[in-house]
């Protein structure tokens, strides 16, 4: 146990600090501080010594240099049981600093506020980061509090331990301090790197321990602020697999503007429809594959009402996501205690994606491309009709979010079936046709979307035999003309987008 007899406090965020200051004052701890923090401490009725009284140096260079002084860092880094350190401290009149409470300028917040470059540079903390690292390094003797979120934890410690700290506590605070400093430096590097990716640096916090990974024998964690994206208002703890499906669902629904609802299973849409009324959208989405919908993830892009909730409640599902719910809808949906109900907040999709591969990391831009009618190049003699164009774009938005090789069949803005994750495009198409027929869909007049070009015309022929009348694909095969010729011979329409949407 180490007694806390002195403290250096210099913080940007002061909310929640007052009770800590009052407790330190009650414990007769000598408090040192600077500038605005010093005035704040005085306003709390506590005695405080200006750091300048230790250093005999004022704050200079417009506040850039305040605590960068041997007497400050010596008081932090001094090893309390090392004779040579004790002698040096006595020789140079360096006071011990047992507790350091320091946070950092809000660099990330300043960057996101679109401040000027000069304003951003001034929010690169020098003294604060140095004090944090010094105190964390000497955790054997010094307690470091590096974030405003730790004020309550510190207050409890001061009260429970009567102004003392043990080694394990100091080490844990030091670990959190190095997490703060590394995150801060990562943000600064990425600002200067400006997307050039001269090195890969990412940092996420907080961490959420999950029940298990993809399988029960795998440990799993989620690093990130889930609460910034969703409010969970009901249900059990979210799992690793839930998070993967939720991520896929959010990406999918982002590409639809009309009233739309989708059902996903293992990251792929197994039902999706756009309609004027949400209840009908749900009925038609479920019809796409009522078998796979069991235990799936449901997402809507508009508020879920009681009528729709009553229909949804009839099946078993794990998670439901929407921007809002009526009170009556929630009363219905909450009848299952484990059912996860999420309110999606207005947030932007992250622009980049990365994953581990071999002994490194793969990094890419997120596929944010969404084709519109002006992007379509008609390759056949027959141009698609307006209804077909709408269905083609609808199907293309679904196939973009479907595991390759992928084929999607759509009619009247309803997903009829999809072929997912097959090793050949022909197999994907046959799977889609089989599923559509097994649920009694009439494919006459349907459209087909492919995530990549057709290497041969066989897929187009199979689709035609099933009733498909229009096709959307990226194009780019050396045999594109063979597919176009087949379409012309059979009065089909084919459009090229020029954009491939592979998804692994």
Q: Check if the beta carbon of residue 200 is closer than 8 Å to that of residue 361.
A: yes
Torsion of CA 134, 140, 145, 146, to 10 degrees: 40
Compute the distance between CA of residue 190 and CA of residue 493 in angstroms, rounded to an integer.
47
- List the alpha helices (DSSP H) in 102-147: 107-112, 117-122, 127-137
Compute the distance between CA of residue 427 and CA of residue 403 in angstroms, rounded to an integer.
13
The distance of Cα 40 from the centroid of its chain, to the nearest Å, equals 36
Instruction: Using DSSP bridges, classify how beta strands 415-419 and 407-410 pair: parallel, antiparallel or unpaired.
Output: antiparallel
Encode 59-97: b = buried (16+ Cβ within 10 Å), e = exposed.
Answer: beeeeeebbebebbbbbbbbeeeeeebeeebeeeebbbb
Q: Check if the beta carbon of residue 151 is closer than 8 Å to that of residue 199.
A: no
Which residues contact residue 475 at a Cβ distance below 8 angstroms, ignoring those fewer than 6 apart?
377, 379, 453, 496, 497, 498
- Would you put residue 165 in left (φ > 0), alpha (ψ -120 to 50) or beta? beta
Compute the distance between CA of residue 459 and CA of residue 419 in angstroms, rounded to an integer.
12
Compute the distance between CA of residue 492 and CA of residue 484 in angstroms, rounded to an integer.
9
Compute the distance between CA of residue 319 and CA of residue 316 in angstroms, rounded to an integer.
10
Burial classification of residue 282, based on how many CB atoms lie within 10 Å of its CB (0-12 exposed, 13-18 middle, 19 or more buried): buried
Residue tagged active-site, from 161, 236, 254, 266: 266
**Rg of the Cα atoms in the chain:** 30
Q: Which helix (H) or strand (E) holds 278?
A: helix 278-287
Compute the distance between CA of residue 129 and CA of residue 334 in angstroms, rounded to an integer.
47
Is 137 designated active site? yes
Q: Which of 201, 180, 190 is nearest to 130 (CA)?
A: 180
Q: Which of 416, 408, 469, 415 is nearest to 442 (CA)?
A: 416
Q: Check if the beta carbon of residue 434 is closer than 8 Å to that of residue 470.
A: no
Backbone angles phi, psi at 94, to 5 degrees: -100, 120
Q: 């070009």: which residue's tokens? A: 453
Q: 């929407």: which residue's tokens? A: 322
Backbone angles phi, psi at 13, to 5 degrees: -95, 115
Residue tagged active-site, from 23, 137, 153, 236: 137
**Catalytic center residues:** 137, 266
């Amino acid at each position: 146990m180490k007694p806390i007899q002195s403290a250096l406090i210099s913080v940007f965020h002061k909310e929640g600090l007052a009770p800590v200051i009052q407790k330190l004052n009650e414990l007769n701890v000598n408090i040192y501080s600077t500038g605005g923090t010093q005035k704040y401490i005085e306003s709390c009725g506590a005695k405080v010594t200006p750091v300048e009284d230790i250093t005999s140096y004022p704050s200079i260079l417009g506040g850039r240099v305040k605590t960068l002084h041997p007497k400050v860092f010596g008081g932090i880094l001094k090893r309390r049981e090392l004779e040579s350190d004790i002698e040096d401290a006595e020789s140079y009149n360096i006071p011990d600093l047992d507790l350091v409470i320091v946070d950092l300028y809000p660099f990330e917040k300043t960057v996101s506020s679109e401040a000027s470059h000069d304003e951003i540079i001034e929010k690169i903390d020098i003294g604060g980061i140095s004090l944090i690292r010094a105190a964390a390094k000497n955790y054997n003797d010094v307690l470091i509090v590096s974030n405003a979120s730790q004020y309550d934890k510190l207050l409890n410690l001061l009260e429970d331990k009567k102004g003392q700290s043990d080694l394990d506590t100091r080490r844990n605070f030091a670990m959190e301090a190095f997490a703060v400093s590394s995150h801060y430096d990562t943000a600064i590097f990425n600002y200067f790197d400006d997307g050039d990716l001269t090195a890969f640096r990412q940092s996420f916090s907080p961490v959420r321990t999950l029940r298990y990974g993809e399988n029960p024998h795998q440990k799993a964690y989620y690093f990130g602020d889930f609460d910034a994206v969703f409010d969970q208002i009901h249900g059990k703890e979210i799992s690793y697999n839930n998070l993967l499906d939720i991520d896929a669902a959010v990406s999918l629904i982002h590409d639809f503007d009309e009233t739309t609802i989708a059902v996903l299973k293992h990251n792929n849409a197994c039902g999706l429809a756009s309609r004027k009324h949400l209840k009908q959208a749900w009925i038609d989405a479920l019809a796409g594959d009522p078998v796979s919908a069991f235990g799936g993830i449901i997402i809507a892009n508009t508020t879920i009402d009681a009528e729709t909730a009553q229909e949804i409640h009839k099946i078993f599902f794990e998670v439901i996501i929407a921007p809002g719910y009526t009170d009556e809808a929630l009363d219905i949906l909450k009848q299952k205690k484990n059912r996860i109900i999420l309110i999606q907040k207005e947030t932007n999709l992250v622009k980049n994606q990365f994953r581990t591969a071999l002994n490194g990391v793969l990094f890419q831009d997120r596929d944010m491309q969404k084709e519109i009618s002006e992007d379509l190049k008609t390759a056949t003699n027959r141009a698609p009709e307006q209804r077909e164009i709408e269905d083609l774009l609808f199907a293309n938005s679904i196939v973009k979010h479907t595991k390759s090789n992928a084929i999607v069949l759509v009619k009247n803005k309803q997903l009829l079936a999809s072929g997912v994750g097959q090793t050949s495009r022909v197999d994907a198409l046959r799977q889609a046709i089989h599923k559509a027929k097994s649920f009694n869909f009439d494919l006459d007049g349907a459209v087909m979307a492919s995530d990549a070009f057709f290497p041969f015309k066989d897929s187009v022929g199979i689709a035609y035999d099933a009733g498909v009348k229009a096709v959307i694909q990226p194009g780019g095969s050396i045999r594109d003309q063979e597919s176009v010729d087949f379409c012309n011979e059979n009065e089909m329409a084919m459009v090229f987008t020029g954009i491939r949407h592979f998804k692994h």
